[in-house]
């Protein structure tokens, strides 16, 4: 659990979980936006007494990491929620090791896009976002990463200073992050290869049969 403090005067209205569930059952058109968050909430309730580093250990990206390393990462971590189609990271943003944050997708889906908005890959829960910039391996963000689909998403944000401090103590973990990034690059290339094959073998032949302007 986290403590949330107001920095200025705040007026807030609380909504009980059962009321939210009842509302979503009544207005089914809005339920898809909250499906992934409610699913994650049920899992969190079932493991409410589990310490955060132990939870992190179950995420795909940190299964091989040491618990003391995860404890350092979790010290100043933040929860961030994103609306459908909202950008998590933007192409061209400057990256600085020790300052640029690293994200872990916990609920929902995200899509990686190039500068033309072409999809490169789709990410699911437990995957890293922005590791190249956070590790200082890239001077700028090379892709857009935005929320995919109609649902909202929940990310675990690891601050740049926390990441740097943890890697200074556990330097061997740096190799793990680099390996994950190389795997990501390979997956992106495979995804793009499949997409290109679909374009050339299915989409383009189908379009060639379509007559947009019929001959007189």
144-148, strands of its sheet edge to edge: 87-89, 144-148, 109-113, 119-123
- Which residues, 6 or more positions from 47, have their beta carbon under 8 angstroms from its beta carbon? 55
CB count, 10 Å around CB of 136? 18
β-pair partners for 157:
78, 103
Q: What are phi and psi of 115, to 5 degrees?
A: -65, -20
Place of tokens 């569930």: 21
Is the alpha carbon torsion for 181, 56, 89, 133 positive or negative?
negative
- Measured between alpha carbons, how far is residue 156 from residues 46, 77, 106, 179 in Å? 19, 7, 7, 20
Report pLDDT digits (tens) over 139-176.
999 889 999 988 888 899 999 999 999 999 999 888 88
Predicted TM-score (pTM) above 0.85: no
Per residue, the 3-state secondary structure of 30-52, as one string, reads: HHCCCHHHHHHHHHHHHCCCCCH
Report pLDDT digits (tens) over 50-77.
578 888 888 888 888 899 999 998 888 8
């Amino acid at each position: 659990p986290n403590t949330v403090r107001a920095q200025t005067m705040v007026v807030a209205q609380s909504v009980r979980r059962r009321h939210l569930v009842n509302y979503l059952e009544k207005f089914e058109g809005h339920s898809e936006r909250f499906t992934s968050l409610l699913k994650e909430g049920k899992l969190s309730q079932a493991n409410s007494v589990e310490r955060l580093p132990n939870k992190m250990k179950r995420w795909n990206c940190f299964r091989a990491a040491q618990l003391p390393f995860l404890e350092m990462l979790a010290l100043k971590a933040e929860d961030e929620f994103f609306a459908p189609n909202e950008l998590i990271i933007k192409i061209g943003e400057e990256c600085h090791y020790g300052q640029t944050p690293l994200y872990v997708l916990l609920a929902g889906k995200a899509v990686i896009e190039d500068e033309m908005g072409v999809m490169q890959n789709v990410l699911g829960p437990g995957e890293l976002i922005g590791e190249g910039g956070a590790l200082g391996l890239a001077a700028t963000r090379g892709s857009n990463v935005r929320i995919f689909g109609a649902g909202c998403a929940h990310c675990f944000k690891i601050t740049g200073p926390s990441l740097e401090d943890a890697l200074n103590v556990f330097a061997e973990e740096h190799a793990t992050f680099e390996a994950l990034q190389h795997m990501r690059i390979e997956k992106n290339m495979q995804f793009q290869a499949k997409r290109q094959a679909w374009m050339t073998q299915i989409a383009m032949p189908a379009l060639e049969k379509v007559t947009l302007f019929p001959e007189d």
